[in-house]
A and B are shown apart, each in its own frame.
Chain A
């Protein structure tokens, strides 16, 4: 039934892997990095947002913020469980990093990761009150949407399925953010929102920072990447422009 085919050939032709037993060391390492970056970003994002619950102006807003914290933490758990199948110590992981650690608010946008963990660089910056948190949630949420569309295609099937489950829930966080911004604009806070937009846009843009073409090619051959950062960044920018125009904030 089977002529000889190496795992690399199989992956290059679009094959999917289904368990840690199928993974070569290199593949394992790359999948672990993708998973850790996602888990750490969700953990750091949720930790930052947890503080914001108390800044929410009303009960509905408190519920929305608490829901976002809960769901992002749950998403971290889903992917951390998959890391556990590769040998990660899931019990220790949740407490092994200072998830609330942040840089100074006025630190310049930089793609460098935190010294502590694999969170995306955007989560190194602190939120500054309710309006700022809602704005960040919208700008970053749209970037997460683009990222999850890409990650949902990874060749490690259990992870692709986890991302497919996670994507619609994260998309709903963007919806909550858009509702929040509409309310803030109606309350005369449009200028504060615009100031936050100016702060977060360049920092979220770093999520799609420059990438080494050789590395992109290597990851593509493993079925772990499909579209380059420039194309994804353009998608995000378009989605942001459309959303802000809809909200009258463009």
Chain B
């Protein structure tokens, strides 16, 4: 199970008005755990008003930068990103899990590979990590970046990318596509859609020579670019994705748990919501909620039935249950009302659980 470590904030820099680059230093005991591959992300956790929030942010540093850095763009109403942009300062401590994610590729120092990457907005963070690493560690590699933004003033790492172009003269090509600011070349204005890609591939980018493509951005952009790349002959295995979803799930509010009801009755009425449908079943209190659901032909998810894997997780909306064992859920999940249904026995005469939350 993933573990959290404390990281010390050693630097906070604004890159644009509403985005910061945060430099972090793990303690000596965690240094090894935080060795990362270019393109990976960190998952942070922090309490806001007694409720734990977890957020993942991509590492923007290259392997040779000698630092651990993440880029955090402020999202409207986002608790963590607002905190990072407005309050975080040098000397603070953040808590994060070691680097994860497979938006990366093994390096081939002697190969002369051609890379093509697409980044939308803050989707530049992992792409920048990959770009810097590849250009430094693969001396014969070429890199083309298509970078989509709303306007000039929302381009994260704009100057740093210009510097990299000069540093790696002739090996790094950057095409800025801006949604609302007009540019000299009309093709570079608007959204990066499947059609726009097709036009780019006609005159500006030779897809046939591309060895690996990386796409990081929101859903529609990912789909459009992937379609265009495949239509131009790239295999699925040559395309790497990192989804920066518009909304991250898991912001559910704490559920209210009813006061303990009488424990007299041996049976309980369980209301189970699954796949958007709700069913009412009756079960003995000494039968786990999962077994009760399965006995009633409900297709409840489960795997280990030993409280280890967490596949059977669901949320108690009303009523109360007790878990015989819990080796998978963390305290914050339990405090929000989540249970492992394979281990959970109803305590109340009625209980409502939801597998869809």
Contact = CB atoms under 8 A, between A and B. Distances in A.
Interface residues of B, number: 59
B86 interface: no
Interface in B29-73: 41, 43, 54-56
A19 B309 contact: no
A153 to B, nearest CB: 8
A21 B2 CA distance: 14
A1 B217 contact: yes
Contact of B306 (A1, A2, A96): A96
A13 B225 CA distance: 13
B327 interface: yes
A97 interface: yes
A contact residues, range: 35 or more
B221 A1 contact: yes
A86 B219 CA distance: 21
A25 B303 CA distance: 15
A1 B179 contact: yes
B13 interface: no
A226 to B, nearest CB: 12
A18 B243 contact: yes
A25 B221 contact: no
A243 interface: no
A14 B243 CA distance: 13
Interface in B305-320: 305-306, 308-313
B329 interface: yes
- B contact face: mostly helix, strand, loop, or mixed: loop
B304 A97 contact: yes
Contacts of A32: 301, 303, 309-311
Interface string A205-244: 0000000000100100000000000000000000000000
B100 interface: yes
A19 B56 contact: yes
A19 B327 contact: no
Nearest to B247: A7
A227 B131 CA distance: 37
B243 A93 contact: no
A157 B215 CA distance: 13
Contact of B328 (A87, A118, A158, A215): A87
A88 B243 contact: no
B304 A1 contact: no
Interface of B: 1-2, 41, 43, 54-56, 100-103, 120-121, 148-150, 179, 191-192, 217-223, 226, 237, 240-243, 245-246, 248-250, 275, 299, 301-306, 308-313, 327-330, 333, 355-357
9 contacts: A10-B220, A21-B54, A32-B309, A36-B309, A87-B329, A89-B1, A89-B310, A93-B304, A117-B304
Interface of A: 1-5, 7, 9-10, 13-19, 21-26, 28-30, 32-33, 35-37, 40, 83-93, 96-97, 116-118, 157-158, 161, 164, 215, 218
